[in-house]
């Protein structure tokens, strides 16, 4: 059981060796360890700050991208509305133009029909006049053979002329 016996000399030398080791570690190793830990902490802080900045930039970029998309959609809606407005206007102008053309054609057809009707009336009158003159000529020739009938016709025509004037 010698292992469990405490030897005073060995214990002192162990404390001295521990103190020397502690002094060397405290003087040389501890500042280097602290410097490394502080550097590591700074590096981690910088990384966290960089990540925050990157996240902010990403959020800002997303907001800006959404704004651009919304603006593009608004412009697209405006362009579509303008195109629909122009389409409606063009269709309306075409309808008006077609109505005007149809009105012109109708007016032209009416004028043409009226001219044809007048020509037909004139032709009919001329034809009726020819027949009437031919008939009147034959009737007057028959009636004018007699002198008495001629005097009677002349007197009747003179009386009619006097009543008209």
Give the tens place of pLDDT for each residue, 120-137: 888 887 787 777 777 777
**Cα angle 125-126-129, degrees, rounded to a multiple of 5:** 80
Report yes or no: 153 and 143 within 8 Å, Cβ to Cβ: yes
In the predicted model, is pLDDT for residue 165 greater than 70? Answer: no
Report yes or no: 150 and 144 within 8 Å, Cβ to Cβ: yes
- pLDDT category at 15 given cuts 50, 70, 90 is very high
Could you report the per-residue pLDDT of 44-93, keeping only the tens digit for each?
A: 999 999 999 999 999 999 999 999 999 999 999 999 999 999 999 999 99
CA–CA gap between residue 98 and residue 118 (Å, rounded): 30
Phi-psi region of 5 (alpha: psi -120 to 50; beta: other; left: phi over 0): beta
pLDDT mean over 34-48: 94
CA–CA gap between residue 14 and residue 141 (Å, rounded): 180
Higher pLDDT, 148 or 13: 13
- Is residue 126 helix, strand or coil? helix
Q: Is the pTM of this model over 0.75?
A: no
Which of 165, 81, 70 minimizes the C-alpha distance to 89? 81
pLDDT mean over 10-35: 92
Higher pLDDT, 72 or 165: 72
Q: What is the signed CA dihedral for 32, 38, 43, 49, rounded to 10 degrees?
A: -170
């Amino acid at each position: 059981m010698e292992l469990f016996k405490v030897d005073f000399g060995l214990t002192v030398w162990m404390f001295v060796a521990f103190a020397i080791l502690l002094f060397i570690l405290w003087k040389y190793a501890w500042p280097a360890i602290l410097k490394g830990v502080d550097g590591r902490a700074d590096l981690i802080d910088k990384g966290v700050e960089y990540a925050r900045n990157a996240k902010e930039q990403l959020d800002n970029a997303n907001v800006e991208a959404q704004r651009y998309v919304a603006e593009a959609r608004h412009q697209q809606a405006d362009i579509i509305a303008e195109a629909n407005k122009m389409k409606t206007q063009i269709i309306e102008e075409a309808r008006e133009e077609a109505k005007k053309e149809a009105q012109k054609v109708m007016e032209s057809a009416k004028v043409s029909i009226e001219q044809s009707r007048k020509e037909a009336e004139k032709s009919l009158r001329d034809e009726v006049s020819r027949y009437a003159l031919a008939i009147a000529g034959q009737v007057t020739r028959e009636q004018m053979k007699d002198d008495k009938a001629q005097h009677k016709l002349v007197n009747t025509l003179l009386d009619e002329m006097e009543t008209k004037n």
